[in-house]
Amino acid sequence: MSTWRPLTRPPWWQRWLPAFLHLPVRWAFFLTLTGLVLFFGMVFFYFALAMKFDMAEVGRLPGGTVIYDRRGQELPTSGRNSAKLAKRADIPEFLVQALRAREDARFFDHSGVDVRGLARATLRNLKDRDFTQGASTLTMQLARNTYEIRAKSLHRKFLEIALTLRVENRYSKDDILTHYLNRIYFGSGAHGIEQAARTYFGKPARELNPGECAMIVGIIRGPHIFSPFRNLPAAIEQRDQTLRRMEAMGFLDKAQREKIMAEPVHLVTDDQRETQPSYAVQAIRRELDRILEDRDIREAGLHVHTTLDAAWQERLNSELTRSVANLEQEKSWPHPTHAAYVAGTEPDYVQYAAVTIETKTGGILALIGGRDYQHSRFDRTRSSRDLGSAFEPFVAAAAAERGRLVLPGRPVQTGRQIGPAEVERLARRCGLAGPFLKTEDLFRGSVAATPLEMSVGLATLGNKGKRAKPYLIREIRDASGEILYSAKPVLSVALSANAATEATSVLTRHAGTRCFTGATGSERDAWTLRLGPAGSTAIWIGFDKPVAIAREPRVKALLEEFVDRLGNE
């Protein structure tokens, strides 16, 4: 039986190659085919994943920051929630050129992904064995900020690329540029180019001059550290770097650059800034800015949960307003509606400031920085005023800490037992910064402190010698509810529990609380310290430009009536 079979001719590539290369070529072909299948499978997967995202979100204004009190009640705010979208026609061409020079030189040439830049960044990341380079185009940054893609990973980068290509397919370059500038964070609470222009320069974006355009673009890479309100020299340096980059790209010549750099920077003044509706929210914004900078948080749509007790704040403020208004009426003193103020002069009526701190934690329950925020934005809770007899509790604390007698109503005799240096040391440990006199006049209250410091000091005595660091923000969540920041009470021991308890003996028990009403020797400042069941309150009353007030017998009676109305809450 014949076993002959016709010979099969080998493929053409085998006839052209030596036999020892046949197997490697087969493997190369197989691996290439497998790689292509995997590549196109991955492309399909990420584009399918990207299809789940709503492209209309790109053109929408990000949600504003919402602030809540400790019970979840939303507090009224301004600024971010009233921000407006800029149109392409509102954006100066110089700003567009500055943005290209600093962030994306080939913006109008690439398809959303700068392949050359991405390859260069990939090689650098492989070398560094970390994600040190991003090569993000403006479109990629827009996609990332719109859909909150934050984690540094290959999955994140692939999804970002897929979304970027979808954005480029959906929107024109001018639309992408406009949406990008409307969405990014520029520091100091300003999201979007329109609010940034008004926040820093007090004008709409379309009126920005070249130097202002360059400075705003320079802020983008470090919105917290390069904010001109926080660090003007750094902001100017970023402006200059942007201008030099523009010169290198041919957008302006050396003479134009030097002329722009020589122009003075005109930032808005404190009184011109778009501000918050109250001293408390203003203080929350200050603390929020610090947290966002420390944590490098740039998201919009934040939910900020504070320690503030809106009900207590309102009651404290209304009772103070009522008491001071009655005093003004009796004494015919100027008041907020006085013609002198209406005529445009500085407020010259009686002011007050008050801070309540949760004694055991340091959470600020109320913060009132003045009589009327619309008249004066100066926060008096951070302004030092003479203490006078209101310093007696701390003289008593120092004596008790050293095992000496506490003589209520006799601070000089109490202080002489230990000397001014010991009293100053203890007062500083309780949170008072001074300045302090080095003589026995210190025992009579020749020392200055802010209402915030006095509240902290009083809380230290009420918390058995444990000093709590004051804070306003308890928790920050993003738009999806994820916790970005959470605060915990920070306590330190300032004096012994026995000494703290003995020091409070100089406070008068009144309506379920312990209180102390004092005034300075010059009779220009009146103080009330109130240690309640949960909170420690320091209240100052006086004129911004010191005028004798406390000599009026009615002032002490006013403060006592005020404490009565507050009751034992």
State which of 274, 296, 329 marks the end of a domain.
274
Same domain, 262 and 359: no
pLDDT at residue 376, as a whole number: 83
- Among residues 94, 58, 25, 267, the alpha carbon closest in space to that of 168 is found at 58
Same domain, 252 and 339: no
99 lies in a domain?
A: yes
540 lies in a domain?
A: yes
Give the pLDDT confidence of 256-279 residue by residue, as tens digits. Answer: 999 999 999 999 876 666 556 789
127 lies in a domain?
A: yes
Mean pLDDT of 365-369: 96
Rounded to the nearest 5 degrees, what angle is found at the Cα of 123, between the Cα atoms of 117 and 125?
A: 100
Is the pLDDT assigned to residue 340 strictly greater than 60?
Answer: no
Task: For residue 328, give its domain range.
Answer: 314-566
Same domain, 493 and 405: yes
548 lies in a domain?
A: yes
558 lies in a domain?
A: yes
User: Where is average pLDDT lowest: 82-96, 388-402, 426-440?
Assistant: 82-96
For residues 357 and 364, the answer to whether their CB atoms sit within 8 Å is yes
How many domains does the structure of the chain reveal? 2
Q: What is the CATH number of the domain that holds 447?
A: 3.40.710.10
**1/531: higher pLDDT:** 531
pLDDT at residue 344, as a whole number: 46
Same domain, 250 and 355: no
Same domain, 429 and 319: yes
Helix axes 232-248, 93-103, angle to 10 degrees: 90
Give the pLDDT confidence of 453-492 residue by residue, as tens digits. Answer: 999 999 999 999 999 999 999 999 987 788 999 999 999 9
Amino acid identity of 144?
R
pLDDT at residue 533, as a whole number: 87
For residues 88 and 174, the answer to whether their CB atoms sit within 8 Å is yes
Same domain, 339 and 424: yes
**290/308: higher pLDDT:** 308
162 lies in a domain?
A: yes
**238/547: higher pLDDT:** 238
**116/399: higher pLDDT:** 399
pLDDT at residue 463, as a whole number: 96
Cβ atoms within 10 Å, residue 40:
10
pLDDT at residue 228, as a whole number: 92
User: Where is average pLDDT lowest: 13-17, 410-414, 500-504?
Assistant: 13-17
Percent of the chain with pLDDT over 90: 46
For residues 499 and 400, the answer to whether their CB atoms sit within 8 Å is yes
508 lies in a domain?
A: yes
**564/279: higher pLDDT:** 279
pLDDT at residue 122, as a whole number: 60
Give the pLDDT confidence of 108-156 residue by residue, as tens digits. Answer: 888 888 777 666 666 655 555 554 455 688 998 888 888 877 656 777 7
Is the pLDDT assigned to residue 521 strictly greater than 70?
Answer: no
469 lies in a domain?
A: yes
> 224: helix, coil or strand?
coil
Query: In three state form, how does the secondary structure of 482-509 look?
Result: CEEEECCCCEEECCCHHHHHHHHHHCEE
**251/39: higher pLDDT:** 251
CA–CA distance, 155 with 161 (Å, rounded to integer) = 10
Same domain, 449 and 512: yes
**431/547: higher pLDDT:** 431
For residues 103 and 218, the answer to whether their CB atoms sit within 8 Å is no
> 525: helix, coil or strand?
strand
Same domain, 255 and 331: no
User: Where is average pLDDT lowest: 442-451, 498-507, 556-565?
Assistant: 556-565
Is the pLDDT assigned to residue 219 strictly greater than 90?
Answer: yes
Cβ atoms within 10 Å, residue 569:
15
Same domain, 421 and 344: yes
State which of 274, 294, 323 marks the end of a domain.
274
Same domain, 353 and 489: yes
Q: What is the CATH number of the domain that holds 221?
A: 1.10.3810.10
Same domain, 382 and 242: no
State which of 215, 244, 274 marks the end of a domain.
274
Is the pLDDT assigned to residue 339 strictly greater than 50?
Answer: no
Mean pLDDT of 424-452: 93
Same domain, 261 and 318: no
Give the pLDDT confidence of 306-335 residue by residue, as tens digits. Answer: 999 999 999 999 988 888 888 777 766 666
pLDDT at residue 152, as a whole number: 67
Burial class of residue 272 (count of CB atoms within 10 Å of its CB; 0-12, 13-18, 19+): exposed
